[in-house]
Amino acid sequence: MFYRIGDFYELFNDDAIKGAQLLELTLTARNKSADDPIPMAGVPHHAVQSYVDILIDHGYKVAICEQMEDPKKSCRDG
């Protein structure tokens, strides 16, 4: 599942791990200093469709969670 957060669509946990491998994205994490950091990978909002197409071509089902507030007004708190 891609989550719209500001100017990016982000993947978390197992989706991030699988997505990073298949889509050749950098795998990073939220809360890196925590005992259990959350795997994360992301793509710019303007490019998400090409990544969705790749996942679908590989047999995955893709869901997108859109941000309800104006992305330009959101802040990124980890």
- Could you tell me the pLDDT band of residue 76, with boundaries at 50, 70 and 90? low
Domains of the chain, each with CATH number or no CATH: 2-31+38-68 (3.40.1170.10)
Residue range 38-68, pLDDT digits in tens: 999 999 999 999 999 999 999 999 999 998 8
- Could you tell me the pLDDT band of residue 74, with boundaries at 50, 70 and 90? low
pLDDT at 75: 57
Short-list 78, 74, 55, 65, CA closest to 7: 74
Asked whether residue 13 carries a pLDDT value surpassing 60, the answer given is yes
Contact 37, 30 (CB under 8 A): yes
